[in-house]
């Protein structure tokens, strides 16, 4: 994150300009962490800016902050974007209808149509959600300690429901078209999880009910449910990123396809074209040698088969990230399933997985 110090109220305009140049826009609606002169930290959004004050909105409360009381503010980092023309850039993103205004770290501002983005939906392995939530002024210190322990790229969406801390990797949001179940533990499709997160995690004004989890939240008016269909439709357009040119050996990958469909028995569960059997069956943790904690906390007691499309992009692997590489994934299953694979077959299988 980029920290910009404010020495006095007259430095606000200069700070905003500097922030924009660093791809961290200082603008109404921007997410900010504000550090006050007394050391307190507030995490929220700018609702209004005047010559002498910021109107700051957090957790449904609006606070008017005198600029002289603000020691510094922290603007969120830019995100990495890959455009369909091959351009890769780091930029702050500001929605603009069916386009995005991009304030690049090293280059002029530009506008990109949503359809031109080729890398939307990548799992954010750098985002430290627990540390951000721990900035709250109302959480007990013991809870903050747990949140800070999760680390970047991980989150536990059940922690505030059952008090158990067992964070999982943030999964990709791409490649979900025709995949019946979105979550690691197969509770439901895309809209189920969007609904769960919006209501139980982000505390949006909406309704969510799942008797399997003992949750029944009713809101009037429900401002979440009407938005779920269009959000789902958008997410289902997010395509799996193609592997970079030269990132795998195509000849070895073709041999690996034979291993995948034959002696490795991968295709038994990773069924083409979605490369998963999600929607048909869930698997007990013992079947695949997975840690059982997450499954026992979910609604179904098992794990779905994770789709493998885009596997080259999202290391580490498994819900808990215990396999650092695709080679480690192959070794895991070879041991759990008692597969008799040669070293060459394992190498070829990895090349095939990198090609998906």
Encode pLDDT of 226-236 as tens digits. Answer: 999 988 888 88
pLDDT band for position 207 (cuts 50, 70, 90): very high
pLDDT tens, residue by residue, 58-117? 666 676 766 556 554 444 344 555 555 656 555 555 445 555 555 454 555 555 565 555
Rounded to two decimals, the pTM is 0.68
Matching residue, tokens 């695709």:
326
Which of 130-134, 162-166, 233-237 is predicted most confidently? Answer: 162-166
Report in angstroms the alpha-carbon separations of 267 from 189, 224, 274, 336. 22, 38, 11, 16
- Ranking 42-46, 171-175, 290-294, 318-322 by mean pLDDT, the lowest is 42-46
Instruction: Indicate the average pLDDT of the chain.
Output: 78
Give the Cα separation of 178 and 176 in Å (integer). Answer: 6
**Is residue 352 over pLDDT 90?**
yes
**Is residue 53 over pLDDT 60?**
yes
pLDDT band for position 39 (cuts 50, 70, 90): low
- Ranking 74-83, 121-130, 234-243 by mean pLDDT, the lowest is 74-83
**Is residue 8 over pLDDT 70?**
no
- Ranking 86-95, 217-226, 273-282, 344-353 by mean pLDDT, the lowest is 86-95
Give the Cα separation of 253 and 262 in Å (integer). Answer: 14
pLDDT band for position 274 (cuts 50, 70, 90): confident
| pLDDT for the residue 80 | 54
Question: Under CATH, which number does the domain 2-75 receive?
Answer: 2.30.30.600
| pLDDT for the residue 106 | 52
**Is residue 209 over pLDDT 80?**
yes
Task: Show the tokens assigned to 303.
Answer: 């794990």
- Fold (topology level) of 250-355: Cytochrome Bc1 Complex; Chain D, domain 2 (1.10.760)
| pLDDT for the residue 2 | 33
Delimit the CATH 2.30.30.600 region(s) of the chain.
2-75
| pLDDT for the residue 127 | 81
pLDDT band for position 21 (cuts 50, 70, 90): very low
What percent of the chain clears pLDDT 90, i.e. is strictly above it? 45
Mean pLDDT (whole number) for 236-265? 93
Delimit the CATH 1.10.760.10 region(s) of the chain.
250-355
């Amino acid at each position: 994150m980029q920290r910009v110090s404010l020495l006095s109220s007259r430095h606000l305009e200069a700070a905003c300009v500097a922030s924009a140049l660093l791809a961290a826009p200082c603008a109404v609606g921007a997410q900010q962490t504000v550090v006050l002169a007394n050391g307190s930290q507030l995490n929220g959004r700018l609702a209004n800016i005047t010559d002498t004050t910021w109107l700051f909105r957090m957790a449904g409360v609006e606070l008017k902050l005198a600029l002289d009381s603000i020691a510094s503010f922290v603007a969120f980092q830019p995100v990495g974007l890959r455009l369909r023309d091959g351009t890769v850039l780091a930029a702050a993103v500001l929605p603009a209808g069916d386009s995005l205004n991009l304030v690049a770290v090293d280059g002029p501002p530009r506008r990109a149509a949503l359809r031109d983005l080729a890398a939307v939906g990548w799992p954010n392995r750098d985002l430290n959600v627990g540390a951000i939530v721990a900035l709250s002024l109302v959480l007990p210190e013991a809870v903050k300690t747990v949140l800070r322990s999760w680390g970047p790229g991980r989150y536990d969406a059940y922690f505030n429901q059952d008090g158990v801390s067992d964070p999982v990797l943030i999964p990709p949001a791409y490649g979900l078209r025709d995949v019946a179940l979105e979550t690691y533990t197969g509770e439901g499709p895309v809209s189920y999880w969007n609904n769960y997160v919006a209501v139980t995690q982000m505390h949006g004004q909406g309704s969510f009910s799942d008797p399997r989890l003992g949750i029944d939240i009713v809101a009037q008016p429900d401002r979440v449910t009407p938005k779920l269909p269009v959000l789902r439709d958008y997410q289902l357009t997010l395509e799996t990123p193609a592997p970079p040119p030269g990132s795998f050996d195509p000849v070895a990958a073709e041999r690996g396809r034979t291993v995948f469909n034959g002696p490795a028995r991968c295709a038994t569960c990773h069924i083409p074209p979605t490369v998963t059997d999600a929607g048909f069956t869930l698997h007990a943790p013992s079947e695949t040698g997975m840690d059982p904690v997450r499954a026992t906390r979910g609604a179904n007691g098992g794990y779905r088969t994770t789709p493998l499309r885009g596997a080259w992009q999202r290391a580490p692997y498994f819900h808990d990230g215990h396999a650092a590489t695709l080679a480690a994934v192959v070794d895991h299953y070879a041991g759990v399933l008692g597969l008799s694979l040669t070293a060459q077959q394992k190498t070829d299988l990895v090349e095939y997985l990198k090609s998906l």
